Structure 1
Amino acid sequence: MCGIAGFSGRFEQDVLERMNQAIAHRGPDDSGLLMVPEHGVGLAHRRLSIIDLSSRGHQPMVDVSGRVTIVFNGEIYNYRELRKELLEDGYGFSSETDTEVLLNLYLRDGEKMMSRLNGIFAFAIHDSRDGSLLLVRDGLGVKPFYFAETPKGVLFASEIKALLQEPSIERRLNHQAVVHHLLYLWCPSPLTMLKSVHKLEPGHAMRIRDGRIQERWCWYDLPYDQQFVDWPTEDAIVQVRKYLTLAVERQLVSDVPVGAFLSGGLDSSSVVALAQRAMGNERLQCFTIGFKDPSARAEGMADDLPYAQRVARHLDVDLHTIYVGPEMVDELENMIWWLDEPQADPAPINALFICQLARQHGIKVLLSGAGGDDIFTGYRRHYALVREPYWSWLPGRVRGSMRTVASWIRPTNEFRRRLSKAFRYANLEGDDRIAAYFHWIDMDHLSTVFGPDLNREMTESMQSPVHQALASLPAEVPALNRMLYLESKFFLTDHNLNYVDKVSMASGVEVRVPLIDPDLVSLAARLPLHLKQKGSVGKWILRKAMEPYLPKDVLHRSKTGFGAPLRHWLRHDLRPMVDDVLSERSVRERGLFDPKGVRNMVEQDRNRRYDASYTIFSMMCIEIWCRMFIDHPVPTLNRRDLGSATENA
């Protein structure tokens, strides 16, 4: 796993050098640059060595015939099988890397190569035969990929901070993205906070020549248009176990030690159990986090640590724990810097500490349980959706009254917050209601903090990539699978996977995600709904598949979040920062929000008349992001005091 950057157009080499330096944290082991003046192409690479640690893995890498060059971020898990094929077809190799496999696969298959890949990847291939660049991102979007078009040409990079080393990229805010960050706490692809910068969407590719994008296309989409399998339940359970086992085994390929996250939840415990079985007598090194802050329990956060310890003893793996307390709040600005996007969730701080701990123990690769809730169900909104038939038949007027009553509930505890949210969008129909389950605040309250520009953006934002994605699905796709499509296409990619990649790479660690192996994703999409969400039990079939390996209390745990006591922080530890960052002067100068509306929302939240904590946090993150990424000629972080927690292994 690495960092990449480059361009096609009229750019100078010093821009390429600055871009590469901006992502130096992504590749501490090696770096490289290549300029191809006759084609106006520049390629840059930072290397985190995982496979073939020798200098033969240096990038940019040229194939043995000298025709094509690549910069590549990620891993190809089936590269050995592909390499064998290519050798049999007469292609030459000078290394044992998966990078060189991509070069030869392109020479053989061209743009059809992507369908052969099992892995996580973002890469750019320069073809000297026509001077073009091919940019490709993996199907689930595990690896980030950004690009920008300017009058001088097209630039691309693993992170936005690298792109913004080029001064010709306009720093104009994308108001639609601001609305999305407030609604969802993340922004759906291809949008970013800047009108001039876009995400290359998961499963997409583009061809660039002479500084212009010639073609963009989708080569992979989540397979939710398939027919359900008609298997006996026991057969389906066996297939899930088989596919997940293969995915974990495939993702253990590495020339450096592999470890794992272990929260004690079903997903991470399943990955650890199957990884340890595959490793035999070698003990898997696992990593988790413990909270010293008593306010976490007051906010309804479960204590995961005892479950992680229970699983570690049961599976006989080593567990290393890092303990954190209220000092986590000191990492907020660092978190926003690493994420490149103003995601309003403290969970990345947890992941950052765990990755730093793993690296201290010599681990450069971690397996993650991310994705289980997104393909098998598991979030509370999935249960809420399957309960809708009990009330969705009611007339619109009655459902509107349910929404009104729900809005009267004061969110003084976790139960009341959930009850209020359950019927917040009862008045909506069909796909609009499915999309609304991802909202963190209702539009009526949100509009009270908007300035004039954002209020004008409201109607357009409702026709966002989220709604467009739902409209692209066949009408016969059932509601639960429509929601799961959104989970994997946006929430997983633009929220969870983005922050996991960014903070892990900031620590010099690669994170792999077996639960979203493309073969397993395809299988999960074809499973009947009752095998995924059975009544109030999410991930039912995954629980059954893991019965031979995990303790019963772990198998049947309720879903818990991977977060922090944000509501308590905003009213106590972060209170001075809230009042500073969202002061009347600060809000007025930025021009995004209405100062009076912001102050009213903060007071309502502090008096517990309305739960607006995450919206307030989102506005803070947006303002801090603007100070870092648009208020300076190049992105700037003034403080870099990382790592304030303590370990107890």
Structure 2
Amino acid sequence: MCGFVGVFDLNKVPINLGCLCKMRDMIIHRGPDDEGIYIDHNLGLGFRRLSIIDVELGHQPMTTVDGRYTIVFNGEIYNYVELRTYLVRSGVSFKTESDTEVLLHLFAQKGKDCLSLLNGMFAFAIWDKEKRELFIARDRMGIKPLYYYADHERFIFASEIKAIIADRTIRREPNYPAILDYLSFMYIPGDKTFFKGIHKLMPGHYAIVGENKPLQIEQYWDITFNYAEKTEKQFVEELRSVIDDAVRIHLRSDVPVGCHLSGGLDSSTVTCLAAKHLQKPFKTFSGKFTEDEFYDETKYAKVVSKAANTTYLETVPSKSFFQKSLHKLVWHMDEPCVGPGIIPQYAVCQLAAKNVKVALGGQGGDEIFGGYPRYFFTYEKSTGFTKSINTQQAIEQSLLKKLANKFVFVKGYMKQHGIKTTIEKIRKNLMEHNNGTCSFEDVWRKYSSSFANASSVFSETLRTQLAGYNPDEAFFQFIRKDVTDDIFDKMLYHDMKAYLPGLLQVEDRMSMAVSLESRVPMLDYRIVELAATIPPHMKVKGLEPKYIFKKAIEGIIPNEILHRKDKKGFPTPINVWFEEDKEFVADILLDKNAKQRSLFDDKQIEKLIASSSAYSWALWSMINIEMWFKIFIDEDPRYVDSDGKAREEVARR
């Protein structure tokens, strides 16, 4: 796991070594073990390494013996052992045991077609000295990040945006449409970022740019829902085998490995299978909050730890930890994304990094197999308007079960969002149900919105910046793509393409902030492709969340975990913290700089702060946006040092 940056001057101007080194070292947290630079006149590559595979010899940038190809690579190729064997048989000689060299030789042999052979998480760039062309690519699911800036003079790319803007000639301008996307959904669909002119290379895509070739971006992989004619038993057996093998190859490492453990289905499965393959004690890392028993799932994590015979380690982040860490979280994230779960995730990663260099987690299972309540609420409201393969299953589901599931969801929602917000949401749902006017897209949009009335807090300044932009265009692009006729799988496809990349951004940044490699075996592409062949009426039989996945892991995890009904997803008590310290919120949203910026209406903010426990998620969104401006646009010395890096401490007024 590492970080890289590259500069390609299309006007053939020589690379500035000092600037390239500064850009590279802006992301030293991604790779404190080693560093490297490669310059070929107008092409420069910078690299920071966290040594995981072939610790001694895996130095980067790495160049082929003939000098033609040079690579910088962030991630892991889990099937590198098998690929290496294939390459050796075809006559390739290796100098190292690293997966980087395997990838380099595979590209030299097959070019872009090598991507279909890779099983891993990756972002990489390869310079072809002979053709004077640059090739960059990102893994199928977007586990590893890759950003770029392009104009008529330069193509600049990096693992994190902060490395790109370390070049002071690049203007730091806010991208207001992306900001509205975040306010609306708490993630940004598509390739936009908070920085105008800086884009993400989308998951499953590659790009080529040359001295005489304009930037060309192509998609090399997508999810296709081609339902197979197999029995439930056949699907279960195949799925169990693939999940088991995914965990097995994700354990490949030359340094100590542990597991993130929440006590949910996915992390428990990964932990129990890791125990099976390692056959020796290893460490697991969990977190909780003490504000209320609702915020503590560790009783389940301890059940799994005992069953897997792991060394159980736990952290308890507090309000003080949150307040001291917020500016660092925003800095590491590059741009706001997803909810306050980043706080405990950062704390657990800190704990893990003190004990291991690699940690496996359960990210991705909900999006692949249908684990979120909003899928079922959307489906239930939409089946009267859109015919679906699951309709018969919806009819068969008992009213009692529906009510029980909804009660659990509403109880949890109320804990996180407050009574007022919950009551208002229920009231709106009842009104819409009675009116009977909701289409599938209407309902999906509603259940995917994080701040439904965001425009109510906009200032005239922000309204002007957003004039003519409709976030629904970006939001509906994946729902409307012709990948399946079934609305349930349409929702899964949307989340795998739009929501999951946001979660993976958090996964990457919070682990890399503490120089920890985080692996997500549930996102092995073989699992994703297999799940896409399972018809929804088997995948969530009887509208049971993750039904087929649960059948596949029966006997692998403890029954107490398998039959859990209180899914929580690491809830964070920001509503409690904001209520206890309203001054902290006001210091960010109503200070001099915020008022001069005038993104939000001050009077509306004051009202939200006065009822902070009821509007905690809305405040969370605005706090993250304002803190982003303070750090990256203002470069406020209260939060960042003169070198552009986050301050270790911020003095409260």
TM-score, normalising length: structure 1: 0.89
2:329 is matched with 335
SS in 1 for 2:242: helix
1:383 is matched with 376
Q: Is the aligned partner of 1:484 residue 2:485?
A: no
Which of 519, 523, 526 in structure 1 is aligned with 2:526? 519
Counterpart-to-counterpart distance in 2, 1:286 and 1:411: 32
1:99 is matched with 100
Mapped contact 1:411–1:420 kept (Cα < 8 A): no
2:481 is matched with 472
Mapped contact 2:73–2:122 kept (Cα < 8 A): yes
Counterpart-to-counterpart distance in 1, 2:109 and 2:137: 17
1:124-523 matched pairs, under 5 angstroms: 124-210=125-211, 213-223=214-224, 226-280=225-279, 282-294=280-292, 297=293, 301-330=294-323, 331-343=325-337, 345-361=339-355, 363-389=356-382, 392=385, 412=419, 416=423, 419-420=426-427, 422=429, 427-443=437-453, 445-454=454-463, 457=466, 460-474=469-483, 476-494=484-502, 496-523=503-530
Mapped contact 2:328–2:646 kept (Cα < 8 A): no
1:572 is matched with 580
Structure 2's unaligned 5+ residue stretches are: 388-409, 637-641
1:69-116 Cα offsets, whole Å, 9 max, x none, are 000000001111111111111122111111011111111111111111
1:259-316 Cα offsets, whole Å, 9 max, x none, are 1011111110011111111112x1131111132223xx4xxx3521011001111222
Q: Which amino acid aligns with 1:433?
A: V
Mapped contact 2:138–2:206 kept (Cα < 8 A): yes
Counterpart-to-counterpart distance in 2, 1:420 and 1:319: 43
SS in 1 for 2:557: coil
Q: Which amino acid aligns with 2:253?
A: S
Report the CA distance shift for 1:628/1:635 in structure 2 as closer, same or farther (over 3 A): farther
SS in 2 for 1:486: helix
Mapped contact 1:76–1:119 kept (Cα < 8 A): yes
C-alpha displacement of 1:546:
1.3
Counterpart-to-counterpart distance in 2, 1:542 and 1:458: 45
Counterpart-to-counterpart distance in 2, 1:120 and 1:423: 43
Q: Give me the CA root mean square deviation.
A: 2.5
Which of 47, 50, 66 in structure 2 is aligned with 1:48? 50
Which of 3, 26, 29 in structure 1 is aligned with 2:33? 29
SS in 1 for 2:522: helix
C-alpha displacement of 1:557:
1.2
Q: Which amino acid aligns with 1:199?
A: K
Report the CA distance shift for 1:279/1:72 in structure 2 as closer, same or farther (over 3 A): same
Which of 504, 517, 533 in structure 1 is aligned with 2:540? 533
Mapped contact 1:247–1:514 kept (Cα < 8 A): yes
Mapped contact 2:382–2:440 kept (Cα < 8 A): no
Counterpart-to-counterpart distance in 2, 1:531 and 1:539: 9
C-alpha displacement of 1:393:
7.9
Structure 1's unaligned 5+ residue stretches are: 395-405, 643-649
Mapped contact 2:381–2:443 kept (Cα < 8 A): no
Q: Which amino acid aligns with 1:537?
A: E
1:12 is matched with 16
C-alpha displacement of 1:533:
2.3
Report the CA distance shift for 1:533/1:416 in structure 2 as closer, same or farther (over 3 A): farther
Q: Is the aligned partner of 1:552 residue 2:562?
A: no
Report the CA distance shift for 1:632/1:326 in structure 2 as closer, same or farther (over 3 A): closer
Mapped contact 1:188–1:490 kept (Cα < 8 A): yes
Counterpart-to-counterpart distance in 1, 2:121 and 2:427: 39
Counterpart-to-counterpart distance in 1, 2:631 and 2:432: 36
1:407-434 Cα offsets, whole Å, 9 max, x none, are xx99517864663575687644233432
SS in 2 for 1:44: strand
Report the CA distance shift for 1:566/1:630 in structure 2 as closer, same or farther (over 3 A): same
Moved more, 161-170 or 204-213: 204-213
Counterpart-to-counterpart distance in 2, 1:248 and 1:268: 11
Q: Is the aligned partner of 1:627 residue 2:630?
A: yes
1:479-529 Cα offsets, whole Å, 9 max, x none, are 1111111111111112x1101111111111111111111010011111121
**Number of residues of Structure 1 aligned to a counterpart in Structure 2:** 609
Report the CA distance shift for 1:462/1:424 in structure 2 as closer, same or farther (over 3 A): farther
1:401 is matched with none
SS in 2 for 1:381: helix
Report the CA distance shift for 1:629/1:341 in structure 2 as closer, same or farther (over 3 A): same
Q: Which amino acid aligns with 2:471?
A: M
Report the CA distance shift for 1:419/1:229 in structure 2 as closer, same or farther (over 3 A): farther
Mapped contact 2:340–2:620 kept (Cα < 8 A): no
2:118 is matched with 117
C-alpha displacement of 1:170:
2.0
Mapped contact 2:289–2:295 kept (Cα < 8 A): no
Mapped contact 2:33–2:51 kept (Cα < 8 A): yes
Counterpart-to-counterpart distance in 2, 1:420 and 1:71: 53
Identity of aligned residues (%): 34
C-alpha displacement of 1:463:
4.0
2:599 is matched with 592
Counterpart-to-counterpart distance in 1, 2:142 and 2:558: 32
Moved more, 585-594 or 68-77: 585-594
SS in 2 for 1:592: coil
TM-score, normalising length: structure 2: 0.88
C-alpha displacement of 1:385:
2.1
C-alpha displacement of 1:372:
0.5
Counterpart-to-counterpart distance in 2, 1:288 and 1:431: 37
Moved more, 532-541 or 82-91: 532-541
Mapped contact 2:385–2:440 kept (Cα < 8 A): no
